[in-house]
Amino acid sequence: MSDLDFFNAFGAELNSASQTVTSTVGNGAGNIIGGNVITEGNQSVGGHGFSSPFSSGSENIGSQNVTSTVANGEGNFVGGNVITEGSQSVGGHGFSSPFSSGSENIGVQHVNATVANGVGNFIGGDVVTEGHQSVGDHGLAIHAFH
């Protein structure tokens, strides 16, 4: 029986996810992109609902990388916006056990954009790089003993 099988069989939760979203667009010389370039990653890691009444807690680990590399070089044209966005939620979502020892939530997020480096590059819109991250339990936790 693996550790994950053991934890799941006896009420503890182990949720782990890794996500990588990458776009490499219009790099080099003389590229034309007539519209927007959108690179977006959405990730949710954790239990969603009710945990076991005798759960020892949960462990939720999320790792996310969102990267865009757009119009780098010489004489590149992007006619619209360049949007790079990452959204991550790590933690239990719902009701936890009254006998739970709590949970451990770890979130790591990287959102990077490299846009229009070089000579004579043109971006006809906005360059937006955003990261949204929520780490922790989201819901009702009832603990009988502390």
- Cα(4)–Cα(14) distance, integer angstroms: 7
Q: Which residues pair with 12 in a beta bridge?
A: none
Tokens found for residue 88 = 């991550």
pLDDT surpassing 50 at residue 145: no
Residue spans of the domains in the chain: they are 3-140
Tokens found for residue 46 = 């954790």
Map 43-96 to HEC letters. EEECCEEECCCCCCCEEEEEEEEEEEEECCEECCEECCCEEEEEEEEECCEEEE
The predicted model scores a pTM of 0.75
Burial of 118 (0-12, 13-18, 19+ CB in 10 A): middle
Quote the Cα angle for 72-76-78, to 5°. 100
Which range is least confidently modeled, 14-18, 111-115, 117-121, 128-132?
A: 14-18
Average pLDDT, rounded, for the chain: 81
- Each residue of 90-120: pLDDT tens digit? 886 555 556 666 678 888 999 999 999 999 9
